[in-house]
């Protein structure tokens, strides 16, 4: 590969410099280019090997309360601040015992991470890619069912919801980000004449530490938030959500087994505000990789702003936040598909996907049939324990979510503009169960139509067919969010019009498909406006947020003149 540098002898200092510094860019080209495909989603049909393996993993996971220490630089720490993760669908059943780190421990984790970063950043990219591929293989095979069982029992996901999250999406994030890294190193700056100068770029980590703050609702998101900055040479403090600690812990262990060195990612469960306050005070904060609600991200952003004079780097702030996602039904829509897609989008995983449909706009001409379809389908959904494989959905995540969602249901019952069409019942006796609820609202600006509820509650607004344009405008302006949206129509000219009118209404837009279910590599994910910084997790450019590239110009023809030729008479 050095044949293009004829002026450099292999023994020279310049050659050694190449070996040491540029090698982190170049060797990737030597890895075989195998292309990339998504991890297959297994069926778990009766008597399949994966079904049997999952049942065994569920049994062993449910049988114990797993102890999870804080891990900093590979060392286990336990504090007096003991916490438990329970099963949301059976909240007296504890499945994990963990510990909250206090301010001192978090500060220590920052020191350890900063030290580890310098060494880790010198690990060749090709080596890191190998570790990530090894980890993806472990997650797809040896640990697949352990990850699924932890996600099912700890976060109340059904088989399919766990499989698309903690198996397929997680494996895809790990494998594809490594692939995207390999791909992006193929692009090098222009060198007009390599006999005179050579230009290159190397992808460095960001010095300091990155705080990865993850939500409860996707195990895969935790893996992505912590391990994409790590892949790029950053060191990380990973604060998992209290209600997803077990699945996140299993991800952490699989990555360790694959070869991620101690200190590169530190596992630091903690009280949210204590963690946020501590990391934003550190001068070494290199970035925050956050997914969660708008108020939490706003708070972190403000804290960074208040501390801006303290930092070594401008911290990168990446936040994927909430949504108020819409399905817009056109009079030409295929009704059956609009009904089925809306039910799945609104009620799978109890509507606790950031992309879940939460407001639906239906033309008056289609409403009688659409209403009958929605009510019939929603009333038949089986809600129960995730270990009963016939359940469509289970419980909402915790007591706080239960209170929040049911307060919206009570609002729907009391308000004269709103009518509960189906559902509206709930009980937190054994688990946090809320029946899928559909409300019709006569007011398109009611809080049910504008606020993120994050639960199994869908609100429908019926518009006059003649008011199509005003309604479309209202869809794009009545909420601060712009995460996902879907339009259902068979009229092609309307679809072209909708693409224009809804351009800024959603970061992920669907035509005749539900608003949920983005696949890594296929629909890179993220929203605009208050839905986040839209860095498109799962896409080829996301990794670039976590590198501080260095451009290098090497000159092989020594410049010995001071004066320019034109200066000579
Ligand atoms: P959350 O904001 O309550 O918590 C997210 C994380 O932030 C948790 O780990 C929590 O402990 C931590 N946290 C809380 N206060 C903090 C503070 N002051 N400083 C630092 N960390 C703090 O969100 P959640 O309930 O876990 O997740 C649901 C939210 O996430 C919804 O709003 C949903 O739309 C959003 N979400 C968005 C996406 C996306 O890609 N846009 C994906 C998943 C979830």
Residues classed as catalytic: 320, 354
Give residue 34's pLDDT.
59
- Pocket-testing residue among 292, 398, 506, ligand 1, by greatest number of atoms within 8 A of Cβ: 292
Answer whether 420's CB lies under 8 Å from 394's CB: no
Probe target for ligand 1 pocket from 270, 276, 293, with the most ligand atoms within 8 Å of CB: 293
Q: How far is CA 231 from the centre of its chain?
A: 16
| Dihedral in degrees, nearest 10, Cα atoms 187, 193, 196, 197 | -20
What does the alpha-carbon distance between residue 330 and residue 467 come to, in Å, rounded to a whole number?
11
Q: How deeply is 306 buried, as exposed, middle or buried, from its count of CB atoms within 10 A (0-12, 13-18, 19+)? A: exposed
**91 Cα–ligand 1 center, Å:** 21
Residue-range domain boundaries for the chain:
13-321+532-552, 325-511
CA 218 to ligand 1: nearest atom: 43
> What per-residue confidence (pLDDT) applies to 14?
39
Mean pLDDT of 549-566: 94
Which residue bears the tokens 């007296």? 92
The Å distance, Cα 282 to ligand 1 centre, comes to: 21
| 183-230 confidence digits (pLDDT tens) | 999 989 999 999 999 999 999 999 999 999 999 999 999 999 999 999
Integer Cα distance of 351 and 340 in angstroms? 15
413-430 average pLDDT score:
98
Q: Whose C-alpha lies nearest to ligand 1, atom 15?
A: 272
Contact 70, 99 (CB under 8 A): yes
8 Å CB contact between 254 and 85: no
| Least confident range of 80-89, 180-189, 358-367 | 180-189
Identical fold between 13-321+532-552 and 325-511: no
Count of H-run helices and E-run strands, the chain = 17, 23
Average pLDDT, the chain: 94
- Pairing mode, if any, of strands 528-529 and 66-68? unpaired
- Among protein residues, the one whose CA lies closest to atom 8 of ligand 1: 241
How close is the Cα of 466 to the center of ligand 1, in Å?
A: 40
8 Å CB contact between 492 and 515: no
Distance 319 CA to ligand 1 centre (A): 9
Kindly report the CATH number that applies to the domain delimited by 325-511: 3.40.309.10
Beta-strand pair 325-329/481-482: unpaired
How far apart are the CA of 63 and the centre of ligand 1, in A? 29
Read off the pTM. 0.94
276-291 pLDDT, tens digit each: 999 999 999 999 999 9
Q: Which residue has the tokens 């090894």?
A: 134
Q: Which residue's CA lies nearest to atom 20 of ligand 1?
A: 276
Nearest atom of ligand 1 to the alpha carbon of 323: 34
Specify the residue with its C-alpha closest to ligand 1, atom 34.
322
pLDDT of residue 19: 42
Strand duo 457-463 + 357-363: pairing: parallel
What is the CA(44)–ligand 1 centre distance, in A? Answer: 31
Strands (E), 127-214: 197-202, 209-213
Residues in contact with ligand 1 (CB, 6 Å cut-off): 213-218, 221, 239, 241, 272-273, 275-276, 291-293, 296, 299-300, 320-323, 354, 452, 454, 483, 525, 527, 531-532
Write out the H or E segment, with its range, that includes residue 275. Answer: helix 272-281
* Cα angle, residue 452 at apex, residues 392 and 293 outer, rounded to 5°: 100
308/142 Cα distance (integer angstroms) = 44
Neighbours of 91 (CB within 10 A): 17
Question: Domain 13-321+532-552's class?
Answer: alpha beta
- pLDDT tens digit sequence for 135-173: 999 999 999 999 999 999 999 999 999 999 999 999 999
Distance, CA of 456 to CA of 517 (rounded, Å)? 16
Cα separation, 477 vs 121, in Å, equals 44
pLDDT class of 35 with cuts at 50, 70, 90: confident
Residue 291: burial class (beta carbons within 10 Å; 0-12, 13-18, 19+): buried
Pick from 216, 296, 520 the residue to mutate for probing ligand 1's pocket: most ligand atoms within 8 Å of its CB: 296
Kindly state the tokens that stand for 369.
Answer: 């049939």
Helices 219-231 and 245-258, packing angle to 10 deg: 40
Atom of ligand 1 nearest to the CA of 397: 25
Helix (H, G, I), strand (E, B) or coil at 190: coil
Q: Assign 559 to helix, strand or coil.
A: coil
Residue range 320-326: mean pLDDT, rounded: 98
Closest C-alpha among 376, 373, 349, 323 to residue 486:
323
């Amino acid at each position: 590969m050095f044949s293009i540098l004829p002026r450099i002898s292999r023994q020279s200092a310049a050659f050694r410099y190449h070996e040491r510094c540029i090698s982190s860019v170049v060797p990737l080209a030597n890895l075989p280019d195998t292309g990339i495909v998504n991890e297959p989603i297994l069926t778990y049909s009766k008597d399949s090997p994966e079904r049997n393996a999952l049942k065994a993993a569920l049994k062993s996971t449910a049988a114990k309360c797993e102890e999870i220490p804080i891990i900093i630089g590979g060392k286990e720490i336990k504090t007096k601040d003991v916490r438990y993760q329970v099963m949301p669908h059976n909240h007296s059943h504890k499945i994990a015992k963990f510990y909250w780190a206090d301010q001192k421990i978090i500060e220590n984790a920052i020191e350890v991470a900063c030290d580890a970063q310098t060494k880790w950043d010198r690990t060749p990219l090709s080596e890191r890619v190998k570790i990530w591929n090894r980890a993806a293989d472990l997650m797809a095979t040896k640990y697949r069912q352990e990850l699924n069982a932890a996600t099912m029992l700890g976060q109340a996901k059904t088989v399919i919801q766990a499989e698309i999250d903690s198996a397929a999406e997680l494996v895809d994030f790990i494998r594809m980000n490594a692939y995207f890294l390999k791909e992006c190193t193929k692009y090098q700056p222009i060198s007009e004449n390599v006999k005179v100068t050579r230009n290159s770029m190397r992808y460095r980590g960001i010095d300091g530490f990155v705080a990865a703050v993850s939500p409860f609702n996707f195990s895969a998101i935790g893996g992505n938030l912590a391990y994409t900055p790590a892949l790029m040479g950053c060191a990380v403090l990973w604060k998992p959500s209290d209600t997803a600690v077990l699945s996140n812990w299993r991800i952490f262990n699989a990555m360790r087994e694959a070869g991620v060195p101690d200190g590169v990612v530190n596992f630091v469960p903690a009280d949210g505000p204590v963690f946020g306050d501590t990391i934003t005070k550190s001068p070494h904060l290199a970035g925050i990789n956050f997914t969660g609600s708008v108020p939490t991200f706003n708070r972190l952003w403000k804290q960074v702003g208040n501390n801006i004079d303290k930092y070594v780097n401008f911290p990168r702030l990446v936040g994927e936040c909430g949504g108020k996602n819409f399905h817009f039904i056109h009079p030409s829509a295929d009704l059956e598909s609009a009904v089925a897609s809306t039910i799945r989008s609104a009620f799978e995983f109890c509507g606790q996907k950031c992309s879940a449909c939460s407001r639906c706009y239906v033309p008056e001409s289609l409403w009688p049939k659409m209403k009958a379809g929605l009510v019939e389908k929603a009333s038949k959904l089986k809600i129960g324990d995730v270990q009963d494989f016939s359940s469509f959905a289970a419980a909402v995540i915790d007591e706080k979510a239960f209170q929040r969602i049911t307060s919206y249901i009570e609002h729907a019952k009391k308000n004269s503009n709103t009518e509960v069409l189906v559902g509206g019942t709930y009980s937190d006796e054994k688990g946090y169960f809320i029946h899928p609820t559909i409300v019709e609202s006569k007011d398109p600006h009611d809080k049910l139509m504008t606020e993120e509820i994050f639960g199994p509650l869908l609100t429908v607004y019926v518009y006059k067919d003649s008011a199509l344009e005003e309604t479309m405008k209202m869809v794009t302006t009545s909420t601060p969010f712009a995460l996902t949206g879907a339009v259902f129509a068979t009229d092609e000219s309307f679809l072209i019009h909708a693409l224009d009118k809804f351009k800024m209404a959603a970061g992920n837009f669907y035509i005749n498909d539900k608003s949920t279910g983005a696949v890594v590599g296929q629909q890179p994910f993220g929203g605009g406006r208050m839905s986040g910084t839209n860095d498109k997790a799962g896409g080829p450019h996301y990794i670039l947020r976590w590198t501080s590239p260095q451009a290098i110009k090497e000159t092989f023809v020594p410049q010995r003149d001071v004066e320019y030729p034109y200066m000579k008479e």
